Amino acid sequence: MPKKSDESKIENLKKEYSRIQKKYSLPSFEKLNEDFGIEKASESETEIPIREIRKQISEKIYNYLRLIETLINPVNAPMSILSVVKTLNSEDRDKLAEVYKKFVKSELQLVLTDIEFSEERETEFIKNAYKTWQEAKKEMIDVLSKVEKNLENKTEANGRKYFG
């Protein structure tokens, strides 16, 4: 349960976000929080909360970018990743490659946004990242659901917990 001071920080963040949301037609705080955990931005004391929100969003996209990169090119990947890679077919790899391209484009936009502060660029990044995430998560859920099913089938077919 959040402490009272944490609640007020989140409420302050929501108020500030609401002002910017209306000005730039951004997704709701609740939707961004569900997908990106932007409430963490309330932990930072800042005069520019939109930048902290953008950082939370970009962090998640970056983490998934690295995961997909490892799945597509598993050089020096841990065993857990290699067992997943073995279950991917060419269609799954193609879907992941498309998501990867979208995330790379998002990362490039992030760098441009990060170089020089502009509220408009920050909000444009948030809008684009949110849209990209909505498209990408459907593809990732589809691929990862197949992977999960294939891993279960492989384990059951072998009759043991070895993925080799």
Whether residue 134 is predicted with pLDDT greater than 60 in this model: the reply is yes
The residues spanned by each domain of the chain are: 4-158
Tokens representing 89 are 């077919």
Residue 46 exposed, middle or buried by CB count within 10 Å (0-12, 13-18, 19+) = middle
**How confident is the model over 81-127, as pLDDT tens digits?**
998 999 999 999 999 999 999 999 999 999 999 999 999 999 999 99
Q: Cα–Cα distance between 152 and 34 in angstroms, integer?
A: 29
CA atoms within 13 A on the CB side of 13: 27
pTM: 0.85
Average pLDDT of the chain, as a whole number: 90
On the 0-12 / 13-18 / 19+ scale of CB atoms within 10 A, 120 is exposed
